[in-house]
Structure 1
Amino acid sequence: MDDREIAVKIDGLLVKAKLSYDVESSCIDLAVNGAVYSYCAENLFSSFIKLRAMLPNIEFFCKGAKVNVHPSRASSQMSSGLLAYELTLGKQALRENLVNIFDYDAEGVTNDPLVQREFFERWMKSLR
């Protein structure tokens, strides 16, 4: 497992959390305030989505929580969901738009994975 320290907000308080992830099993463990939360799915991005859905009171400050971040099938297969594209409406995603989903970002983050899904669908339509 690889470990990262990430910033999260719980009940208005900014704290550091330990995020551990395994590329092979696509499992994520989040250790924060003495508790550990785990989730495994088909890839790390999906695991992170499910973990966030399970913990709606925690705001995550990382790329994978941004409204406009979503992996492609290829990026998901090549990186097990660790890399995803930071998308812009009306623009094709390029290699330079690939981001690590656990890198810090506080702009445009959401606690609701459905908001991300809706943006991704709008982005797909914007390319037509």
Structure 2
Amino acid sequence: MLAFLRSCLLRSITAYISVPGWRDSAIDQARSTEAEAVSEASASPGGVVRLDLAKLLHDGDRRWSSPTPTDIAALRLQDVKSLIEPQLASAPIEVVVVGSKLIPQCKRSPPPSVRYRAGRKRRRLRRRP
């Protein structure tokens, strides 16, 4: 049963990575959030330092600069896809599975939804004191 759980988990992760759900609404939300953060940071001396210090320390190199409102407005979903998809396709990915049950307990008592999907009859679970 533990192998089945691992298999389901790994298939789900693979699906998220191999066929990501790119949504324009997510880019719109990120664009508005970042624009708001930049405008708030620009309103105080400490914020301006935070936005511009790395660029100034690296001799004006734009790779170290915070995005300008023009950069944020120009962001498109295709730009994000072209940056992330090659990484998803070829970069190593580390998966860490964390849980509160011990392995023997997982083997004895998988969650009801897993039992049902595994083709077993769904039975009523008793609560233990």
TM-score normalised over the length of structure 2: 0.18
Higher Cα Rg, which structure = 2
Which structure's residues are more often helix, by fraction? 2
Higher relative CO (CA 8 A, sep ≥ 6), structure 1 or 2?
2
Structure with greater strand share of residues: 1
TM-score normalised to structure 1 length: 0.19
